Amino acid sequence: MELTVNSGIWGAMFGVPCIVADNFLKLATGGQIKVLLYLLRSSGKTVTEHDIALNTGVTEQEAAEAVLFWQQANVLTSTEINAESLAPVAPLLQMPQQSAAMSTPPVRGSVPAPEPRRVQLQPSEIASMMRDSKDISELFRISESTLGTLNHSMQNTLIQLYEYFGMKKEVIITLLTYCAQIEKTDCRYIERVGADWSDKGIDTLSEAQKEVQRLTRSHDYTVKIMKLFEMERRPTTKQAEFIDKWEKDGFSADLVVYAYEKAYENTGKLSFPYIDKVLTSWRDSGLKSVKEVKNAESDYKSKKKPDKSGGVPSDIDKYNVVIDKF
């Protein structure tokens, strides 16, 4: 199909650097391209993040990130961005040659350090890696089908997982698919999960799939407990540890809720340590379901008889002691 540009609109024009069309049409997001065009058109004027957002349809946060992207690409000169204003758009610079001093990523497959440094590659470096590595190019393409258009931060995250954690392409895709399913696709969360998998030596597709199954069970269990406890906020770190322990110990959600009811009767509040002690006492007594617990309670009440003084027998059932004396 042939396309002809309408020359009637060429009365006023502004330039776009060739390197943008040559290197960044695929690498940059649509929002980043829109921000650049607006800034080029506004050259010489003072504009704010609000102005950019209003005229391009992106958010103010996306506007700030887009400006940073083009500064790092050396399409715009680096100027400080603050909450109040953006400096006037500076003259455009030619893309510099790749520096010989550029940091070289560690050899793929090497064991990552306990706290590997966060990757902060320039857009030109990422573009170069995409050209030179079929795996990275394909990783980006498949990731876009899972996460949508990749911003600069996410591109760096994928490089972090592949180059510095030494994760295989199919393992990374499995990780991203899981994160998308639980709607937690921010870069920091993906990197934390990736670091955990790397520490655990998860290096094959089958191992990754097994880990996803485990994480999915744990996530679903946590969500169910939150709903049953009517928790409006996500569990704290300590609360999450208790929930994870209950899931690993095989306590059903119904049993956990019944323990919660016992805890509330005695304390008047949601107490995770108390619930945990109740569940532990039931497990140690061989009680594995709500029905078994209720039967044990019923048996205890039917056998309980007052002593001659009218009080509770001195040989009170161990179960009742555990439940009522926390």
**Residue 69 sits in the same domain as residue 150:** no
**How many residues belong to the chain?**
326
In DSSP terms, which residues pair with 86 in a beta bridge? 81
The answer as to whether 24 is a domain residue is yes
How does the average pLDDT of the chain come out, rounded? 76
**pTM as predicted:** 0.51
The 8-class DSSP code of residue 73 comes to: T
Cβ count near 50 (within 10 Å): 12
Of 264, 286, 284, residue with least CA distance to 274: 264
Span of 5-14, 104-113, 201-210, 284-293 with lowest mean pLDDT: 104-113
Determine the Cα–Cα distance for residues 174 and 154; give it in Å rounded to an integer.
Answer: 16
Q: Is the pLDDT of residue 80 over 90?
A: no
**Residue 199 sits in the same domain as residue 267:** no
Of 64, 93, 59, residue with least CA distance to 76: 93
How do residues 190-235 score in pLDDT, each as one tens digit? 999 999 999 999 989 899 999 999 888 888 888 888 888 888 888 8
How do residues 247-262 score in pLDDT, each as one tens digit? 988 899 899 989 988 8
* Range(s) of the domain holding residue 274: 233-324
Confidence class for position 21, pLDDT limits 50, 70, 90 = confident
Total domain count, the chain? 3
The answer as to whether 271 is a domain residue is yes
pLDDT > 90 fraction of the chain, expressed in percent and rounded: 16
Q: Is 242 helix (H, G, I), strand (E, B) or coil?
A: helix
pLDDT at 73: 67
Establish how many alpha carbons lie within 13 A of residue 122's alpha carbon, considering only the half-sphere containing its beta carbon.
Answer: 19
Cβ count near 306 (within 10 Å): 9
In DSSP terms, which residues pair with 81 in a beta bridge? 86
